[in-house]
Chains A and B, each alone.
Chain A
């Protein structure tokens, strides 16, 4: 299931009849299909997080998510309609007067047919079509590195479990529909990962001991055969830490000069596993880094990437609110691609961001820029294509992927300044020096001195002086 349109009608501060099209434009190979990834940008207060919450509300209804983040009383009759596609059919959910309820419309029939009991309809009629889906939604709030999620070396596994969720045992987490990490303790997922990893380490070490015993019992002549057996076991029981390293963490941790320790022999015996579960080490010196000493950015990556990887979402909706928090720009631009690589199974990603670097990872039709109308104060969507023409891939006049990042600040984020006041004054001084140096009557000694000064100031201005 993926969302194709969001229509807001007199909803909060949004412009009346605001229809947000989330499909690929004409000319694109996926024309008309729902976008795989979407980026919400816009000034603070324009409603980026509100849209994420609306999607969460729409997806979960009265399900298991943080209801504190959304004022259901603000949703009036027909003020929100969200169209979604299942296979080739389109349906919608339309808000009613009753809080926490939607009516439905089945657009796959012609004429479109109202759906009387939406939850029954989804369960019964769409159930078969949605059976491939794993989780409905996974939502990561702004800055997941809060006190509730701080990981310490001394955390004992049983303490990591959120008591409310403590009844979820074994593989039942795979069936869980909604993962809202606004309220869910991400450590719960960590617990699942740690269990998985610890179990493997124990098995590996038990096999090693068995191997050693067999060598002693069977004498040296059988070592090669025993080794072969052990290697066969290892081949049939792949190391989960290696999978986590290769497919999830290492491609990003590389930018922090860190990597996951994948050699099981460097992990402590089970009796001391509370010390470390997944060892992160320096890429250059190979020394383990204790969790409390990991940077906030590293923790942020681990706290989002690991749950995303282990939940293995398929045809799910995944929300990220300001994923750039705590991350340096050189990591920010990798984020959308990295998260899509970690969860590659036909999911629909929504990112809300203030970062022009994150925004530059999106095609123009994937960006929803929200702006305040100067006259009415209402929020509208600024389109990036020539709206006098039909929406077509070729009618886009702004493409963040093609812009320099400083241009993205100007063109997408409305920062209509080059820099500070001091820069403007220095540019004027530079222009004055330029004119003086080129003057005909200038003394050669003074000219040399001025050229020297010019070069120094121009370097300070990064030679962006035209």
Chain B
């Protein structure tokens, strides 16, 4: 669950509309909303196509490359007359804001649909785990157990913080299917290293936090 720098730099028409609303209620949250794809694709740009929670790859880069916007509007109809075939769905970090402020940029993330429906459900995530919060730093919050392919709260954290993190680990980040995907992600990498490749020469397209934590573990000098 890496840090996300969320800047709405491409979908500027949506952002101007949003700012113009001030404190007023938003229009109903629906996929038919005129700025729906503007939000989705700008978020994917900020998240580099990854799920905000699990870091699973959801969207190839060409869907959110700069040329897909014109005059602050995502040109969905020009490039993808049918719906773009990407995975994931919009997630309201604070679900309480969904009814009246369903299009609030700072409250939205793109996440894996499966995890969102089956894992997260109605789970409220504590603000200390909001990936775009200014003080958020995943490397101060998580450790990674490569044997089990699971994240855990850093052992040095206070119990109160661990209690905030653990439900998110149990229901989202360490959801069974994600553990399995990370196992299949790491297995060939570990073999390549065993066959002589350096961790520093490996680049990855998904699961960057677990990869970075494993790399740090493996590169740590043996004392």
Contacts and interface: CB of A to CB of B under 8 A. Distances in A.
A438 B195 contact: yes
Interface in A441-465: 447, 451, 454-455, 458-459, 462-463, 465
A437 interface: yes
Interface residues of B, number: 8
A438 B191 CA distance: 11
A462 B181 CA distance: 11
B184 A463 contact: yes
Contact of B191 (A447, A455, A462): A455
Contacts of A465: 187
Contacts of A454: 191
B192 A451 contact: yes
B195 A463 contact: no
B125 to A, nearest CB: 22
Contacts of A447: 195
A451 B187 contact: no
Contacts, number: 20
A337 B195 CA distance: 47
A459 B184 CA distance: 8
B188 interface: yes
Contacts of A451: 192, 195
A463 B192 contact: no
B195 A458 contact: no
Contacts of A462: 184
A454 B187 CA distance: 12
Contacts of B195: 437-438, 447, 451
Contact of B187 (A437, A438, A463): A463
Contacts of A455: 188, 191
A141 to B, nearest CB: 31
Contacts of A437: 195
A333 to B, nearest CB: 11
B183 interface: yes
Contacts of B188: 455, 458-459, 463
Interface string A92-117: 00000000000000000000000000
A462 B183 CA distance: 10
A458 B187 contact: yes
Contacts of B187: 458, 463, 465
Nearest to B188: A455
A438 B194 CA distance: 9
B217 to A, nearest CB: 19
A463 B183 CA distance: 8
B4 to A, nearest CB: 29
A140 to B, nearest CB: 27
Nearest to B192: A451
A463 B189 CA distance: 11
A438 B188 CA distance: 15
Nearest to A454: B191
A125 to B, nearest CB: 48
Q: Report which residue of A454, A455, A463 has the largest number of chain B beta carbons within 10 angstroms of its beta carbon.
A: A463
B113 to A, nearest CB: 11
A447 B194 CA distance: 13
A454 B191 CA distance: 9
A438 B196 CA distance: 9
Interface string B156-199: 00000000000000000000000000011001100110110000
A326 B192 CA distance: 42
Interface in A227-284: none
Contacts of B192: 451
Interface in A330-381: none
Nearest to A255: B118
A-B interface, 7 closest residue pairs, ranked by CB to CB distance from nearest: A463-B187, A455-B188, A437-B195, A463-B184, A451-B195, A463-B183, A458-B191
Given A458-B187, A463-B187, A465-B187, 10 more contacts: A437-B195, A438-B194, A438-B195, A447-B195, A451-B192, A455-B191, A459-B184, A459-B188, A462-B184, A463-B188
20 contacts: A437-B195, A438-B194, A438-B195, A447-B195, A451-B192, A451-B195, A454-B191, A455-B188, A455-B191, A458-B187, A458-B188, A458-B191, A459-B184, A459-B188, A462-B184, A463-B183, A463-B184, A463-B187, A463-B188, A465-B187
